[in-house]
Amino acid sequence: MRIDDIKLPNQLILAPMAGITHMPFRILAREAGCGLVCSEMISSNGLYYGSEETRAMLVMADAERPVAVQLFGRHPEIMAEAAAMVEGMGADIVDVNFGCAVKKVIRTGAGAALMKDPDRAQRILAAMRKATRRPLTIKMRSGWEASGKQALELSRIAEGCGVDAVSIHARTAAQGFKGSADWGLIERIKAAVSIPVIGNGDIKRPSDALKMLESTHCDGVMIGRAAIGNPGFFSQALAAINHEPIPRVDPMERFDLMYRYTDQMIALFGEKKACRMLRSRLGWFSRGLAASSVFRRAATRIDSRQTAEALIDAYRDRLAAAQKNSA
Ligand SMILES: Cc1cc2nc3c(=O)[nH]c(=O)nc-3n(C[C@H](O)[C@H](O)[C@H](O)COP(=O)(O)O)c2cc1C
């Protein structure tokens, strides 16, 4: 799959997820076989007005490339300026958020609210297209309330503005995360435009990635929640789309991920901030493991690298002993 001048190693893409897809997590996803990673959504206003906190969200590493940076906002000139800024900071692809349905964002007229305002969406994309030479992509919902018309219109607008690919989370903004994704719409968008179309929504099992590719004819598959704490999902989905046997991921591998994630988080954010963040995040990696609720509760007390590592050690040893006893 290609997005303009970027040839991706495969068709699997990590969905942008606020608070989750920062650099340490993106590296784990790439290592597991994901073809393209995306930052969490970044405020164009924050960048434009020089917020240090926003800039800190833009740290990228060579090990994760190619990396897309997703911007949100509603002012064409500010979005254009932000696109030029993230290009300067090393983004391989600039992505625009037309899908966020969180109240805080849609109240400002950004994210999914733009699906109701095609004129503004067009002005934003035209201004951004002029401002950056990097590939430009969009990620949208299936519509504001009803699935279909607005997403098809926005896809055509995007293509007309020189956008290089569209991703579609096939749920309406009103749906949030409820109900199921409308994969039929992904197929209709694929038939309506000639730029690459990336389908998203409800890839729950590795085999779903192949089902989405085959049933919608989309060019790429974007995976979000299934990968949280489980980047090995990408290696399994990759096997599925290549018609290979799906590898079993050893639960004990989760501990290596926890150590590496802890390490990278501390390197990126400093020990104090990283430990605060790890209190809720380390638990992701224990999803599906025995006694994970005890581990998650204990993780809320992490206050240093030492306590984090001791906690992981103890959990790993407990699980290894239980595995040995049951063998
Ligand atoms: C915690 C969380 C944060 C998210 N943040 C973003 C975001 O920053 N930008 C965006 O376009 N979508 C965001 N999304 C939506 C996902 O990118 C994706 O469209 C959605 O989860 C559906 O895919 P899935 O069924 O594979 O999870 C977020 C989703 C979750 C669960």
Q: Which CATH architecture has domain 2-241?
A: Alpha-Beta Barrel (3.20)
Candidates 3.40.50, 1.10.10, 1.10.3470, 1.10.1200; CATH matching 253-326: 1.10.1200
pLDDT at 74 over 90: yes
Asked if 136 contacts 164 with a C-beta cutoff of 8 angstroms, the reply is: yes
Q: What is the mean pLDDT of residues 42-59?
A: 96
Cα-to-centroid distance, 18 and ligand 1 (Å): 7
Q: What is the mean pLDDT of residues 40-44?
A: 98
Residue 13 CB less than 6 A away from ligand 1: no
Q: What percent of the chain has pLDDT over 90?
A: 95
What is the value of pTM for the model shown?
0.96
Helices and strands of the chain, counted as H and E runs: 14, 10
pLDDT at 83 over 80: yes
Residue 326, C-beta contacts closer than 8 angstroms, at least 6 positions apart = none
Residue-wise pLDDT for 105-148, tens only, equals 999 999 999 999 999 999 999 999 999 999 999 999 999 999 99
Please choose, from the candidates 1, 36, 33, the residue with its C-alpha nearest in 3D space to the C-alpha of residue 240. Answer: 33
In this structure, which residue's CA is closest to atom 22 in ligand 1? 201
pLDDT at 250 over 90: no
Q: Where are the domains of the chain?
A: 2-241, 253-326
Going from the C-alpha of 214 to that of each of 149, 227, 319, the distances in angstroms are 23, 21, 39
**Ligand 1 pocket test: which of 36, 142, 169, 171 has the largest number of ligand atoms within 8 Å of its C-beta?**
169
Active site residues: 100
